[in-house]
Amino acid sequence: MNHWTDSARAKLEGYFAEMRRNLKASGADVEEVVDDLRRHVEQETAVRNLRVVTEQDVGQILARIGGPETAVAVAEPEARVQERGRTDGEGVTKPPGWWLLFFGVVLPLGAIIFEFLTGACAGVLFDPLPTVGHLALTLFVPAANFVVWRNIRRGQLQAATRLGWANGVAIGIALIYGLLFLPFTPFALLGVLVYGLGLVPLSPLLSLVVAIMLRDLLRSAVRPAGPPPGLWRGLGVGAFLVCLFTVPLVLTNIGLQMAVSDSFAESTRGVKLLRAWGEDKELLRACYGRSGRAGEIYSWGRPINPETARAVYYRVHGRAFNSVPPPKLYAGRARWSMLEQEFTWDNDQGGDAVAGRVRGLSLVSSRQDGFVDADAALAYLEWTLEFKNDSPLRREARAQIALPPGGVVSRLTLWINGEECEAAFGGRSQVKTAYKEVVHARRDPVLVTTCGPDLVLVQCFPVPAAGGKMKVRLGITTPLTLTSLETGRLRWPCFVERNFSVPQEFRHSVWVETRQSLEAAAKGMIATQTKPGNYQVRGEITDTDLCDARTSLSVGRDPRIRQCWTRDTRADAEPIVRQIMEEKPVATPKRILLVVDGTEGMEACYPAVAAALKHLPPEADFGLLLARDGCEELVPLQKANPALCKTAADRLLKSKSLGGHDNVPALIRAWDLAAESNGGAIVWIHASQPMLLENAEALRQRFERHSNPPRLIDLQTVVGPNRVVEKLDGIEAVQLMPRNADLATDLQRFFSSWNGRSTKITLVRERASAGTTEASGRETSLHLARLWAREEVLRLGSKRLNSDALELASRYQLVTPVSGAVVLETKAQYERADLKPVPPESVPAVPEPSVAALLLVACALLGRRLGRRRR
Amino acid sequence: MVNDFFDNWTVQVRKGLLEFCILNALADRECYGYELVKALVLVPGLGVTEGTLYPLLSRLRVQGLISARLEESSEGPARKYYALTKEGRAIMGAMNDYLEVLTESTRKLQKGVLT
């Protein structure tokens, strides 16, 4: 390629202008001659190897060619040409007009930019630019039109083949878009005629017309060489590319329809299709109750129920739909994105599930304050949470929170107009009804109820719109997990599932004090001794670390203290609650069924599980089930031995995990096998179970009806909801495996504890009469009484003594399976719900006031009241 | 005066022969424009320039005596290849026959042989 100076170019064009005038009546095709001469000149410059073509060079070449007037020498009189006529029907190529540039380039380009910036069409009709590929293809149309238009106008047709192809592809793309917009064309035409508006929807069709006209002009311009190539093939390529980028959307909708089929085989094929070709965002939109507008075109009017779509999403990806940020439901951008905010309702508001993420709702501050009494193996934590809502609608913040094992919510506070308001504790349905009524009235309530073992659901409404905030506090009383008599561990309460976002850079601020030495394993936390006998751990911790068992707090304790007690101010008789630490032998199960989840992501856990298998007790029967598309028996039940354990490990390591799987069939199979002999145990190692694909009632029935059911030891490898265990709430045989370290270590320790020689420390809490216990133990706080009350409530609940259980839970202000806590805004609301907020002096605090201090406060309040009466 | 007469006469002859030469140049094979023009420019006595030949080629194509096709070239700009059409070949044959007869007769005339 050589470079032409402007003057050289001008000289050549001047020559051609003269040539055009001279050849008008020559009988030759003027533009063809100009093209031929241009090509000839370029060939000359190439032969002369000119890198820069100057005016002088052009002058020399043109001198050789001969002046424009020489052509006249061979010109045929126009009369003769006319006399002979144009038998081939071709005329001299006219340069394309400026109107073609406007309708073929400026208008479509403007329409694309407008749509990209505003998403106007996406907001009200359908999304014409659902992917970057679609955007690139639509931009290609005005680009190709412009290049063809310019080259014809300049007569630069050397690359006619490429121009022909570009034009063909542009026609193909414009044709598809023209067809998509065809139904709206009459309205657009009407708009143009009546209001002078509507050119944007017409732009695909207009650019198609222009592309076809440019094709004709191009054909005329290169006529001597025959029609330019690439019309039909280019058209095919353009149309194919549009379809190619649209295929995932179409396949997603086909896959979704198949996946929700009643036929298992069809449904499985649908899930496989979605795994291979599904458009993730489209699937996610279906989980929020509507497909994207673009997708609606391809769903053939058969909407999918959001709940069903959520189950499909889990089966496809192996994770909950609400574990990722919500998709844009409308494709509107800029001002049109108001549609997104104004009309995206939270359909689960006031419901019983965390459900989908709510756009604009986020956690802005979180602090955990607490104290640990390691000698009494208990702790009290207060978790203060503040939510912010940037959306234009008032929102409900919902979260499922995992409490430390054995923990219970013993305090709930809501800030209303800057003042702390304590909760009322009442029956589960009573507090829920009160909450829902107030949510309906759009006032300020907060509700906490249990939703599974060591799980609570927190609901706060309303987080005010447009940047408004809402602040709540949960008080949690919890026992420590004793790994030995010398050490207790405290796991942090954490979010299992939430409908608000937690920014990646967000940190929870924690501050825990104790009289015993402690260690903090989490990054960003420091443990210090502030003065003799007073230790603290504080720092900032990420949301991920908060959920990690390895970051739990380790506190040293005096192993000689095996008994402690507290004076229970809420009890009329037997005012002492004592706790005795007993070492009991660990019962070795005779039959062990290992159920391993085949859900995506579990593959990374298989090596840890496989490594732990060699620690299984050799005397027991052992079977290995894989919960994948039903139940796969990797190792049938038989006597465990090292060879069998190795075989099981090998088979497990060879297994692949893909998508999400229903674990209930495998658990039922494991239960049936384990229940064949007494003392069976099922160890269930699994990922999060956000969807209950099959009813768990059959499993619950087995546990409820069997007099001595096998134990189900639940080990969840990642934080997240577990709908199966939620359904098994209150079943004593269901136990959570204690987590203190990484998966391999915890599993090995657990399996090793079945060696027949191991013991475990059990905390036995009971009531006692005054004077019998004090001397033989250490006094501790009222939290011991709360922990006793929690156990008692569960015991009464299992005996179906619900009213007794509720009375006890309300008296001790606890959130249990029979009771909940709610904060309402006004006294009238409490009266209407027949609830009474707890007096502020009765709630726990950090640090927990001693009984003496409480008596002093009570005396002071009494004195003040008496003084007022006298005045 | 004599020179002017001769110049006019040669212009007329050349003008008449240009199309004949082009058609004959394409008799055996197709040629691209630049190559064809360069070859014809070198024909002694034809005294033709590139500027003259391209309009002629265009006119012959319009008349359907030759065809043209464009082909991309790695060595420079795209090349336009010209070839005789069936009609062009027939005309060329007739022209050749005619010129042969005319030349023969002219020679006879020069030798003083009158028919």
Please give the Cα distance from A769 to A449 (Å, whole number).
33
DSSP category for residue A740: S
Prior bond of A462 cis (ω within 30°) = yes
Burial of A799 (0-12, 13-18, 19+ CB in 10 A): exposed
Cα gap A357→A335, rounded to integer Å: 22
Q: Closest to B50 (Cβ–Cβ): which among A66, A158, A225?
A: A66
Q: What is the spatial distance between Cα A854 and Cα A843, in angstroms, rounded to a whole number?
A: 11
* 3-state DSSP assignment of residue A247: helix
Tokens of A247: 């295929």
Instruction: Determine the Cα–Cα distance for residues A254 and A265; give it in Å rounded to an integer.
Output: 15
Shortest Cα–Cα distance, A234 to chain B (Å): 18
Chain A environment of B57 (Cβ under 8 Å): 36
Instruction: Indicate yes or no: CB of A224 within 8 angstroms of CB of B75.
Output: no
Mean pLDDT, rounded, for A169-175: 91
Contact A90 B61 (CB under 8 A): no
Q: Which of B15, B54, B70 sits opposite A160 (nearest CB)?
A: B70
* Model confidence pLDDT, tens digit, residues A754-796: 888 888 888 888 887 776 655 578 888 888 888 898 888 888 8
pLDDT surpasses 60 at A544? yes
Structure tokens at A379: 């702790």
In the predicted structure, residue A143 carries a pLDDT above the cut 90 = yes
Interface residues on B facing A, Cβ-Cβ cutoff 8 A: 11, 15, 18, 33-34, 37, 49-52, 54-59, 61-64, 68-70, 72, 75-80
Q: Helix (H, G, I), strand (E, B), or coil: what is residue A27? A: coil
> Does the distance separating the beta carbons of B34 and A40 come in below 8 Å?
yes
Residue A267, pLDDT > 60, answer: yes
Chain B residues with beta carbon closer than 8 angstroms to that of A84: 63
User: Which of A39, A64, A226 lies closest to B78 in CB terms?
Assistant: A39
Lowest mean pLDDT among A204-208, A288-292, A588-592, A818-822: A288-292
Contacts of A71 in chain B (CB under 8 A): 51-52, 54-55
Of A65, A71, A74, the CB nearest to B15: A74
- Could you say which of B37, B59, B80 has the minimum Cβ distance to residue A27? B59
Q: What is the pLDDT of residue A397?
A: 84
CB A602 within 8 A of CB A687: yes
Mean pLDDT, to the nearest integer, of A860-866? 59
Say which DSSP state A808 is in: H
Closest residue to B52, CB basis, from A66, A76, A158? A66
Nearest CA in chain A to B53: A71
Query: Does A745 score more than 60 pLDDT?
Result: yes
* Residue in B51, B55, B75 nearest the CB of A67: B51
What's the gap in Å between the CA of B101 and the closest CA on chain A?
25
Mean of per-residue pLDDT scores for chain A: 79
pLDDT digits (tens, 9 = 90+) for A526-537: 888 878 778 888
pLDDT over threshold 60, residue A870: no
DSSP string, A57-102: HHHHHHHHH--GGGGGGGPPPHHHHHHH--TT---PPPPPPHHHHI
Nearest 10 degrees: Cα torsion A209, A212, A217, A222: 170
Cβ contact A413:A472 at 8 Å:
yes
CB pairs under 8 A between A and B: 104
Residues of B in contact with A43 (CB under 8 A): 34, 76-77
Task: State which H helix or E strand residue A25 sits in.
Answer: none
Distance CA(A334)–CA(A115), nearest Å, equals 10
Interval A166-180 mean pLDDT? 89
CB A413 within 8 A of CB A420: yes
| Token pair of B97 as six digits | 């026959």
* CB-based contact A591:A672 (threshold 8 Å): no
Chain B: residue whose CA lies nearest to A84? B63
Beta strand residue intervals within A516-674, DSSP E: 518-520, 525-531, 534-542, 553-556, 563-567, 576-585, 591-597, 621-627, 632-639
Which site among A21, A37, A43 would you substitute to test the B interface, given the most B Cβ atoms closer than 10 Å to its Cβ?
A: A43
Distance (Å) from the alpha carbon of A19 to chain B's nearest alpha carbon: 9
Interface touch B49/A70, C-beta < 8 Å: yes
Please answer yes or no on whether A29 and B56 come within 8 Å at the CB atom: no
CB A511 within 8 A of CB A525: no
CB A399 within 8 A of CB A497: yes
Q: What confidence tens digit (pLDDT) does each residue in A288-325 have?
A: 765 444 445 555 556 677 778 888 888 888 887 877 77
Of A33, A87, A160, the CB nearest to B54: A33
E strands along A737-858, which residues?
759-768, 778-779, 819-823
Residue A570: enclosing H or E segment and its boundaries? none
**B78, closest residue in chain A (CA to CA):** A158
pLDDT at A478 over 60: yes
Using an 8 Å Cβ cutoff, are A800 and A391 in contact? no
Contact in structure between B79 and B71 (CB atoms under 8 Å): yes
Considering only CB atoms, which chain B residues are within 8 Å of A86? 62
HSE-up of residue A857 (Cα within 13 Å, Cβ side): 11
SS3 A164: helix
> Per-residue confidence at A866, pLDDT binned at 50, 70, 90?
low
CA of B95 to nearest chain A CA: how many angstroms apart? 18
A138-166 in b/e burial notation, b at 16+ Cβ within 10 A?
Answer: bbbbbbbbbbbbebbbebbbbbbbbbbbb
Encode pLDDT of B28-62 as tens digits.
988 888 888 888 888 888 877 778 888 888 888 88
- Which chain A residues are closer than 8 Å to B64 by Cβ? 87-88
Cβ contact (<8 Å) for A23 and B68?
Answer: no
Given the structure tokens 């009771």, which residue do they identify?
A819
Q: What does the pLDDT read at residue A183? A: 80
The Cα–Cα gap between A109 and A115 comes to 10
Residue with the bigger pLDDT between A562 and A835: it is A562
Residue, of A1 and A546, whose pLDDT is higher: A546
